[in-house]
Chain A
């Protein structure tokens, strides 16, 4: 039965929404503020054992033998597993691209430093770690392949011998007549860029408790799963279990940002539980394990890009060549990050043709994982530097070249060269807003003055798209097959009129429980306190994915509104009977169900729900007496990808324009952010405080990306940044307090006109800061082409300049 999802606030059965669009206090907060949220490490099950994992000290080595006998003898140790158990009781972990995975414990050889080799379940973590020291592994070291270019060469040592090459994927995607566009150009600008590895680093690492009941074959896993549903499918596949035998229970988690993968830990603890006669086994990844062996490394990229331009600044075509170093395996699904740029390949610009020459290569480093933004942040860095390089080459202002090339507001919905469709937007309005906020002309004058004093002041001005509401079809080029990402919810009214929403994801930080509460309180005309959101596990909830790809705010709003519409239909049917009227004349409005236009002929929803559950004698014959309904929302109008990867994929295109003023210290190479302005358009804001928090949090991660964060491996494949003393996360001293203005171009395609907004600033901030740095360096004639622009890197650049 088709359900009409309200497309705007005016479509709600409410005269004046009281909660949607307001920065209400979050329903999540009291339990988080008091330390009562049930994060995975707070969970203790009866008979629970603790796991510790032995990890490879080598980047590449053959395992000649493993001796666990001494470890097994240690008092308190209950089970020890190695690659032998993994090959006996499990399958290779699923990957994209396919067949680039291994078992959860290294079976024949190790492929990166930190790869799990053996694991122990014991009475405490302390004892489990003692036992690791008693395990003897005999390795035969192999040459480590750390450099992506070397790894792609035909004579490179092989990471997976069976493939005969380390190249996981190599293809050129051409969208339109790119050669003709470049031939027609007045000028072509070309540059190379390097984006170094960085990653999510949520403050809580991954954790899991697995209990494998070997008598009935059921596996139950509590964990900090970003998507319990998909972790359940992956775990079932790895263990050869029917999918309905695997039940995933997602605990609230302390952030994710894509980096909460835990497939190996989940499978390892399941194997230990099996060996320990079904006792629950807990594994909490420690920070050093996370940094070296977790889901925390992303985007190790070498770029070459070209922009074909006319003299007047019109961009005719865009070419990108990417060598993406995915690390040792494809188990982290990091390859999807190389595909996602297709969803906004040409940014805010009406660039008619483009080409993507993509090579994904394996090296002896940690497998890459998704991270907030999922690939476009480096891509946007490249595109936006190219726009600035072109502007300078053509003697234009950065604002001018962008304005010249924006997709105009009347062109939406607009299909970009790489196939995705943008729903709506007004990029020039965002640009003008930011220029005004920053007093741009004045800022340029200040910069000119500073330059005369020898100071390196720079302005970065960047406008990007945030593709929102992800779809699997966006990743078709690396092997994802599906179209559509269903998200379900069940909404019910109890016998006393209180409302419960049941959903399939737990707290992660974005405030979706609050959004659900706001939406339902307004829909049914009740108070926030009258709505409760209840979490359901992977086998109990309707089909779901949970947070990811800037989707959940939109998707869950669609799901709960769809379910509410279905409940409304039942209430109307029953109320019509009670009021002796025709259902067509009855409506829900402001919390009451009654005859249209006759305010006195109405009754509160509690009364109707109460009648349904307690007065069956009053119901229409055959009436379903449950004032509850389920709805599964999926984005409308999505299309499978064509052979060039083009698809209508991400449903929404939010956009943001950032302007940042930086100063580069010519003596030290240190970058200071002096001012930061943001105009942000994500359509209807369901909860402006949530949006503001997402934006500012993205700015912080963007600052980390541009200036601080980098995983460094030496030539032997040893990780040199294995603590927070070496891997630098931004603190309050590095993150600017930003000035923000909200614009609103509603989406015509989504519930209430909202757009996905969880990743926006991460798409924009690194590019904006790098543009600003390069603007500062213009008088010196050098370009900062490597991210992060650490003091050391910039200092070297400045020194080189001083010498030449």
Chain B
């Protein structure tokens, strides 16, 4: 067994120092030792998007990254969105537009939408589709997700939301 490595990383604004096997995937570190189980594993081969998190502000698939790659990184997961029992405006928009059913893929969608609206507060439908095209939802048929993202953009413009725990270093 290869030697374990000590790594330091920040997740949702909180610093962590952990020892991991080189083969441990990033999502297994998050869900296992860090107990952040909101990030879900849907395919484990980088297609479905359920495991999407933010890596230094960019949406990545944590199932096809190794934990050791996150040494020094600033990560944000779905747990970083809501604060003190208050849903983030994106979450609120998904609730109001019924943008989820089983909710398993939802954390991944939320993180990609968060990234999209950070860099582009006024996305066109085509731009929204380009972002959502990297995610599979088996329940909703996407129509309500589309509406959710449009509403989320409006909500974010209308209010200054609680700042992200982290995500951009």
Contact = CB atoms under 8 A, between A and B. Distances in A.
A445 interface: no
B162 interface: no
B136 interface: yes
Nearest to A724: B47
A28 B94 CA distance: 12
A41 B37 contact: yes
Contacts of A36: 38
Contact of A732 (B36, B103, B107, B145): B145
Interface string B87-119: 100010011101011111111001000000000
Contacts of A348: none
A498 B22 CA distance: 52
User: Which among A28, A32, A205 has the highest number of chain B CB atoms within 10 Å?
Assistant: A32
Nearest to A731: B133
Residue in B31, B104, B145, B146 with the greatest tally of chain A CB atoms within 10 Å: B104
A203 B104 contact: yes
B38 A29 contact: no
A66 to B, nearest CB: 25
A697 B106 contact: no
Interface string A8-33: 00000000000000010110111111
Contacts of A37: 103
B103 A700 contact: no
A204 B42 contact: yes
Nearest to A284: B41
Contacts of B129: 732-733
A700 B142 contact: yes
The secondary-structure label for the interface of chain A is loop
B46 to A, nearest CB: 9
B96 to A, nearest CB: 6
Interface in B3-57: 21, 23-24, 31, 36-45, 47-48, 50
A41 B41 contact: yes
A737 B146 contact: yes
Contact of B103 (A28, A696, A729): A28
Contact of A33 (B21, B43, B45, B106): B106
Contacts of B100: 29, 32-33
A701 B138 CA distance: 7
Contacts of A191: none
A511 B100 CA distance: 10
B135 interface: yes
Most B Cβ at <10 Å: residue of A33, A36, A689, A737: A33
B76 interface: no
Given A35-B79, A41-B41, A255 B138 contact: yes
B98 A39 contact: no
Nearest to A725: B47
A162 to B, nearest CB: 38
A549 to B, nearest CB: 17
Interface string A455-484: 000000000000000000000000000000
A62 interface: no
A252 B23 CA distance: 30
A509 B103 contact: yes
B140 interface: yes
B152 to A, nearest CB: 12
Interface size class of A (residues with CB under 8 A): 35 or more
A731 B135 contact: yes
B95 A203 contact: no
Contacts of B137: 203, 700
B91 A34 contact: yes
A715 interface: no
Contacts of B43: 287, 723-724
A202 B79 CA distance: 23
Interface string A563-599: 0000000000000000000000000000000000000
B141 A731 contact: no
B144 interface: yes
Which interface residue of B39, B50, B95, B138 has the most chain A CB atoms within 10 A? B138
Contact of A729 (B24, B77, B94, B136): B136
Given A723-B45, A733-B129, A34 B101 contact: no
Contact of A34 (B44, B78, B132, B141): B78
A729 to B, nearest CB: 5
B102 A35 contact: no
Main secondary structure of the interface of B (DSSP, over half): loop
A605 interface: no
A699 interface: yes
Nearest to B129: A732
Given A33-B103, A287-B45, A735 B138 contact: no
A367 interface: no
A770 B100 CA distance: 28
Most buried by B among A25, A205, A693: A693
Contact of A697 (B82, B103, B134, B139): B139
Contacts of B169: none
Contacts of B104: 39, 202-204, 253-255
B67 interface: no
A189 interface: no
A738 interface: yes
Interface in A674-700: 689-690, 692-693, 695-700
A257 interface: yes
A732 B133 contact: yes
B102 A254 contact: yes
Nearest to B97: A689
B101 A39 contact: no
Nearest to A738: B143
A507 interface: yes
Contacts of B75: none
Given A33-B100, A737-B143, A287 B44 contact: yes
B81 interface: yes
A30 B107 CA distance: 12
B95 to A, nearest CB: 4
Contacts of B146: 732, 737
A201 B47 CA distance: 13
A508 interface: yes
Given A33-B87, A42-B37, A697-B140, A724 B98 contact: no
A257 B102 CA distance: 11
Nearest to A259: B138
A397 interface: no
Contacts of B21: 126
Nearest to A253: B102
A29 B138 contact: no
B81 A34 contact: yes
Given A725-B47, A729-B136, A509 B102 contact: yes
Please indicate which of the listed interface residues B21, B78, B103, B107 has the most CB atoms of chain A within 10 Å of its own CB.
B103
15 contacts: A28-B103, A29-B103, A30-B95, A35-B36, A35-B78, A203-B40, A203-B136, A203-B138, A254-B40, A254-B102, A509-B102, A697-B138, A723-B45, A724-B136, A732-B129
Given A204-B42, A509-B101, A693-B101, 4 more contacts: A25-B95, A30-B87, A33-B103, A731-B135
